[in-house]
Amino acid sequence: MENQQLTTLETITLGGGCFWCLDAVFRRVQGVGRVECGYSNGQIHNPEYEQVCAGETGHAEVVQVEFDPQQVSLEQLLAVFFSIHDPTSLNQQGADCGTQYRSAIYWSEPEQLPRILAVMTQAKEGFQRPVVTELAQLANYWPAEPYHQDYFAKHPGQGYCAAIIGPKVQKFQATFKSLLG
C-alpha cells in the first residue's frame, strides 16, 4: 500500500457584503472544497435571514470557506477577498447597508491570526481610505437557509446576480487566473 499523506483542511470565515457575492467567487477558487453562506459573530442562536437583514441579531452575512492549504494559501484567499469588496466601507457594500454587510475576517485557529494581520497590513497600502475590516475569532456561526447556498449558480439571470455578482466573478476570473479551480 502506498504511503498517503493526509491534508489538513483549514477554514476561514469572511464577510464582505452580501454573502451571495462571496459565495459565487470562492466556489471558483482551486483548493476550496466547501463554501457555505451563513451568519456569524452576532448575539442570538440560529438566526433567520429576516432577523439578520433587519439588524436584530448583530450577525454578519459571511461565507465559511474550507480549503486545502497545499493547493491555495490563506494569504491567496485573503488577496481575493480584499479585491472583490470595499474593505474601507463601514457596514455597507454598494446599496447593501447595515452591520450585517460589514467587512470581516473571522479566524478559526489562533495560528491564522499573524498571517491575517500580515495580509491586512499589506492590503492597507493599496487603499486611500482606512481599512475597516473587523478582525475577530469566529463566534456564534450558523449556516444560512438552504436557498442561499450557491445562489448565483441557481439564479444567474436574476437582477442582482446579473448586475452585481456577475461582474465580481468576472473581475476575480480576470485578476486571479492562476487560482481558477
Asked if 18 is an active-site residue, the reply is yes
Query: Residue 3: inside a domain, yes or no?
Result: no
Question: Which residues are CB-neighbours of 180 under 8 A, at least 6 positions away?
Answer: 28, 29, 30, 173
Q: Cα 102 from chain centroid? A: 11
Dist. CA 102–CA 22, nearest whole Å = 13
DSSP state of 144: P
Query: Residue 101: inside a domain, yes or no?
Result: yes
Question: How do the pLDDT tens digits run along the chain, 181 residues long?
Answer: 454 556 799 999 999 999 999 999 999 999 999 999 999 999 999 999 999 999 999 999 999 999 999 999 999 999 999 999 999 999 999 989 999 999 999 999 999 999 999 999 999 999 999 999 999 999 999 999 999 999 999 999 999 999 999 999 999 999 999 999 8
Query: Residue 133: inside a domain, yes or no?
Result: yes
Active-site residue identified among 18, 21, 37, 161: 18
pLDDT of residue 1: 45
Query: Residue 1: inside a domain, yes or no?
Result: no
Query: Residue 77: inside a domain, yes or no?
Result: yes
Query: Residue 4: inside a domain, yes or no?
Result: no
Query: Residue 5: inside a domain, yes or no?
Result: no
What is the reported pTM? 0.94
pLDDT of residue 5: 59
Nearest to 176 by CA among 32, 34, 80, 84: 80
Query: Residue 2: inside a domain, yes or no?
Result: no
Please report, for the domain that includes residue 46, its CATH number. 3.30.1060.10
Q: Domain of residue 41: give its range.
A: 10-179
How many domains does the chain contain in total?
Answer: 1
Number of H helices and E strands in the chain, helices first, is 7, 8
